[in-house]
Amino acid sequence: MENNNAPLLEMRNIKKDFFGNQVLSDINITLGPGEVLGLVGENGAGKSTLMKILFGMDVIRETGGYEGEIRLNGQAVKFATPFDALAAGIGMVHQEFSLIPGFTAAENILLNREPTKPNIVSQVFGPRLDTLDYKTISQRADQAIDKMGVKISGDMVISDMPVGHKQFTEIARELSKDQLKLLILDEPTAVLTEKEAEALLASIRNMSAQGISVIFITHRLHEILSVCDTVVVMRDGYVVKEAPAKELDVQEITRWMVGRNVESASAAEVRELPDAKTIMSIRKLWVDMPGETVRNIDLDIKEGEILGIGGLAGQGKLGIPNGIMGLYEAGGTVEFEGKPIPLNSPRKCLDASLAFVSEDRRGVGLLLDESLEWNVAFGAMQIQNKFLKKFGLFTWRDERAIRAVTDKYIDELKIKCTGSKQKAKELSGGNQQKVCLAKAFALQPKFLFVSEPTRGIDVGAKALVLEALKRFNREFGVTVVVISSELEELRQCCDRIAIVSGGRIAGILPATESSEAFGTLMVSQVV
Ligand SMILES: Nc1ncnc2c1ncn2[C@@H]1O[C@H](COP(=O)(O)OP(=O)(O)OP(=O)(O)O)[C@@H](O)[C@H]1O
C-alpha cells in the first residue's frame, strides 16, 4: 500500500557482488519528494551500480541480482526491467548515451511515445497505422528542451551533435515524461561545458521546485554543494557519510571520499624550450563543429612541449583537435614535421603518428565488449603492426606483450579492475577514461591531443592522470596538447597555454602567468 507520509524512496541494506567481487556492502538511502541528493565517491566506489539496481537494469539481474529492499512511497518494489521503473515514475540519464544516431533530437526525445494522428488507412485498419504527428512531436520536444534553458535544435540529427548536446537530449527525454517523480542523473555534467553545466544545475533546481526528486552523481564537487540538499559519500561499497550539503565543504567531502587530504598535482615545472623546432604548424584553420566556433586558428606547436589550449565554452578549444583529427569537417592548412596533413582524413593522421583522446570517450573511445588488453593494444596493432609476431607468411598476436603493456598501464594509472582480461564495459566510468589514455599511450605517438583528460576522474585520481601525462611527455619526448575547460588543470601540466576566444588564438602565455592574464585573454574576442 502507498503511504503518503513515507519518504518517496528508501533503499535499505542494499548489497551487490559481481561474481564474488563485493561492490556494495550495506547501503541505506532515504529521499523525500523534491529533494536533491548528491551521490559522490571515488571511481569504482559503486555509485552507478547502486543506481542501476534502483532502475531495474538488466545487467543487475544478469549478474545475480542484489540483496536488500527498495521502497517507493512506503511500498516495497523490485523492478525487473527499466520499463517497470519508468512506469513507477523513475527516470535515469546514464553515463553512456542511449540515443539513436540517425534520428533527430525530437524523435529521440519522444521515442516510443510519439504522438500520432489518424489517416484514411488507419480509420479502416485501426490506430496502429496512424501517422506520426511530427508537428506535435516537435512542439513537445521543444517544450522539454526549453525546460533546461539551453539552445538545441530539435531537428538536428544525433550523429551530427557534439557530445554536450547529446547529453541535453537525453535529459530532455526524461523531462518530457509527465509521470516523472524521481530523476537519476549519473554524471550528467561530465560532458558539458561550464555554461551548459550551469544551465543544467538551474534546471535541477527547477525540477526540485516542481516536486521532482533528483539523485545527482558528479565528480565536480562544487556542483553538489550548489544544488543538493543532502550529500551521501560512498567509499568501497559503503556509505561513509550522509549530511546536509550546507554542513559540508569541498575539502571535507574529498576527505570522506578518499580517506585522506588530497594534494593537487604540483605546478608544472615550466620549460621554455627555446631551441625546439615547430612540429605542427596550423594556419587559417576553420572547423564546422556544432556548438563550437573555430574560424581562423594560426598556431605553432613546439616539438616536445606540453601545450594547453583553454578558453570559454564554445569559443573553439574543442573544435581544434576534432577538426585536425578529421572528426568534423575542417579547412585551412596543417603541417606536421614540415609535411601537410590532409584534413578530413582520420586515418592519415593516425598514420602520421598523431593520436587523439577525445572528450567523447564513449562515442569514439572504447570497444566496450572487449577486454582491457584488446582496448589498449588494438589501435597499436591495427595502425602500427605492434604487438604482432611474424613467422614467414603467418602473423599472430603477441599475447604476452599485450598483457604486459596492459598490466603496465593498469598499474601506472591505478585502473580499478579484476585484471587485464576484464571487459571495458564492466569498468566504472572513471576507470574507462583511464583506459582511453592507456590506449593512446600504447600507440606511442609522436604527437598526442588529449581533450578533457580528467573528465569523470575522481578528485583523488586527477593528479595521478596529469602526472602520467607529464611522465609520458618527458620519457618519450611526445608532444602533448591538452585541451581543458579547467585552467588550473592546464597550469598543473603544461609549459605554455594558448587561449582561444571567438574562434581564434587570443594569445599564448607561459603556464606560470597569473589567472587574471588568462582571464583577460579568454574574454577578449568572445562571440
Ligand atoms: N557488469 C559488471 N561486471 C563486473 N563488475 C562490474 C560491472 N559493473 C560494475 N562493476 C564493478 O563494480 C565496481 C563499481 O562500479 P561503479 O560503476 O558502480 O562505480 P562508480 O562509483 O559509478 O565509479 P565512476 O565514478 O568511475 O563512474 C567497479 O569495481 C566495477 O568494475
pLDDT at 241: 94
Is the CA virtual torsion 29, 99, 201, 212 positive or negative?
A: negative
- Tell me what the pLDDT averaged over the chain comes to: 88
Nearest CA to ligand 1 atom 2: 426
Residue 427 CA to ligand 1 centre (angstroms): 5
pLDDT category at 260 given cuts 50, 70, 90 is low
Whether residue 141 lies inside any domain: the answer is yes
Q: What span, in angstroms and rounded, lies between the C-alpha atoms of 115 and 135?
A: 9
Residues 281 and 311 in one domain: yes
Cα-Cα-Cα-Cα dihedral sign, residues 110, 113, 118, 122? positive
Q: Is 48 in the pocket of ligand 1 (CB under 6 A)?
A: yes
* Ligand 1 atom having least distance to the Cα of 187: 27
**Domain assignment of residue 161, yes or no:** yes
Q: Is residue 95 part of a domain?
A: no
Q: Is the pLDDT of residue 372 over 70?
A: yes
Distance CA 306, CA 470 (A): 8
For cell 508537428, the residue is 135
Ligand 1 pocket mutation, candidates 17, 22, 23, criterion most atoms within 8 A of CB: 23
Q: State whether 184 and 171 are in the same domain.
A: no
- Judged by average pLDDT, the poorest of 69-83, 190-204, 327-341 is 190-204
pLDDT of residue 488: 86
Most ligand 1 atoms within 8 A of CB, residue of 22, 27, 49 to mutate: 49
268-313 pLDDT, tens per residue? 588 888 889 999 999 999 999 887 889 999 999 999 999 999 988 7
496 C-alpha to ligand 1 centroid (Å): 36
Residue 19 lies in a domain: no
Does residue 467 carry a pLDDT above 80? yes
Element (H, E) at 287: strand 278-288
- Tens of pLDDT, residue by residue over 424-463, are 999 988 899 999 999 999 999 999 999 999 888 888 888 8
Q: Is the domain of 238 the same as that of 258?
A: yes
Report whether residue 18 contacts ligand 1, using a CB cutoff of 6 Å. Answer: yes
pLDDT score recorded for residue 264: 56
Ligand 1 centroid, distance to 75 Cα (angstroms): 28
Closest Cα to atom 12 of ligand 1: 23
Residue 428 Cβ inside 6 Å of ligand 1? The answer reads: yes
CATH code at position 207: 3.40.50.300
CA of 426 to the centre of ligand 1 (A): 6
Ligand 1 atom at minimum distance from 59 CA:
1
The whole-number average pLDDT for the span 27-51 is: 95
197-206, 298-307, 490-499: the lowest-pLDDT one: 197-206
What percent of the chain is predicted at pLDDT more than 90? 55
Q: Which of 220-224, 264-268, 320-324, 358-362 is predicted least confidently?
A: 264-268
Query: What are the residues facing 214 on neighbouring strands?
Result: 36, 183
Residues whose CB is less than 8 angstroms from the CB of residue 506 and which lie 6 or more positions away in sequence, other chains included: 311, 499, 500, 521, 522, 524, 525
One domain, residues 275 and 302: yes
Mutate to test the pocket of ligand 1, among 428, 454, 465 (most ligand atoms within 8 A of CB): 428
Strand-pair category, 90-93 with 182-186: parallel
Domain limits for position 519: 263-353+445-527
255 within some domain: yes
How far does the centroid of ligand 1 lie from the alpha carbon of residue 50, in Å? Answer: 9
How far away, in angstroms, is 15 Cα from ligand 1 center?
14
**Ligand 1 atom index nearest CA of 428:** 17
Query: Is 358 within the bounds of a domain?
Result: no
345 and 470, same domain (yes or no): yes
The residue type of 150 is: V
For residue 159, pLDDT beyond 90: no
Q: End-to-end alpha-carbon separation of the chain, Å? A: 56
In this structure, is the dihedral angle defined by the CA atoms of residues 120, 125, 127 and 128, taken in order, positive or negative? Answer: negative
In this model, does residue 415 exceed pLDDT 80?
yes
Interval 107-128 mean pLDDT: 74
Q: How many structural domains are present in the chain? A: 4
Contact, 379 vs 347, CB < 8 A? no
Nearest to 282 by CA among 481, 516, 494, 90: 481
Confidence of residue 267 (pLDDT cuts 50, 70, 90): low
| Dist. CA 129–CA 118, nearest whole Å | 8
CA of 65 relative to ligand 1 center, distance in Å: 15
Looking at the structure, tell me whether residues 85 and 216 fall in a common domain. Answer: yes
Q: pLDDT-derived band of residue 349, with 50, 70 and 90 as boundaries?
A: very high
Q: Are residues 323 and 379 in the same domain?
A: no
End residue of a domain, out of 117, 146, 178: 178
Final residue belonging to a domain, choices 262, 290, 310 = 262
Per-residue confidence (pLDDT) for residue 282, from 0 to 100: 97
Q: Whose CA is nearest to atom 6 of ligand 1?
A: 426
- Judge if the beta carbon of residue 46 lies within 6 A of ligand 1: yes
With a 6 Å cutoff on the Cβ, whether 460 touches ligand 1 is no
Average pLDDT over residues 49-75: 95
Q: How far apart are CA 49 and CA 55, in angstroms?
A: 10
Burial bucket for residue 248 (CB in 10 Å: 0-12, 13-18, 19+): buried
Specify whether 432 is located in the same domain as 382: yes
Q: Is 232 in the pocket of ligand 1 (CB under 6 A)?
A: no
pLDDT at 455: 84
Ligand 1 within 6 A of 365 CB? no
Nearest to 341 by CA among 260, 414, 446: 446
Domain end among 391, 408, 442: 442
Of the pLDDT bands very low, low, confident and very high (cuts 50, 70, 90), residue 514 is: confident
CA distance 233 to 224: 11
Nearest to 247 by CA among 256, 235, 236: 256
Same domain, 253 and 399: no
**Is the confidence at residue 421, as pLDDT, over 80?**
yes
Is residue 149 scored above 70 in pLDDT? no
What is the Å distance from ligand 1's center to 9 Cα? 23
Pair (308, 419) in one structural domain: no
One domain, residues 375 and 500: no
Query: What's this model's pTM, rounded to 2 decimal places?
Result: 0.78
Classify residue 50: in a domain, yes or no: yes
- pLDDT given at position 265: 53
Give the per-residue pLDDT at 227: 95
- Asked whether 45 lines ligand 1 (CB < 6 A), one says yes
Instruction: State the average pLDDT over residues 457-476.
Output: 90
Q: How far is the CA of 152 from the centre of ligand 1 (A)?
A: 32
User: Which residue, among 272, 382, 351, 280, has the nearest Cα to 321 in the 3D structure?
Assistant: 280
Separation of CA 409 and ligand 1 centre (Å): 19
| Structural domain contains residue 391 | yes
Q: Which residue has the higher pLDDT, 206 or 72?
A: 72
Indicate if the pLDDT at residue 2 is higher than 70. Answer: no
Same domain, 421 and 456: no
Does the beta carbon of 432 lie inside 6 Å of ligand 1? no
Among protein residues, the one whose CA lies closest to atom 28 of ligand 1: 44
Pocket test for ligand 1, best of 21, 48, 431, 435 (most atoms within 8 A of CB): 48
pLDDT for the residue 270: 81
The pLDDT of residue 144 is 81
When pLDDT is averaged across residues 27-41 and rounded to a whole number, the result is 95
Cβ 162 under 6 angstroms from ligand 1: no
- CA 48 to centroid of ligand 1, rounded, Å: 7
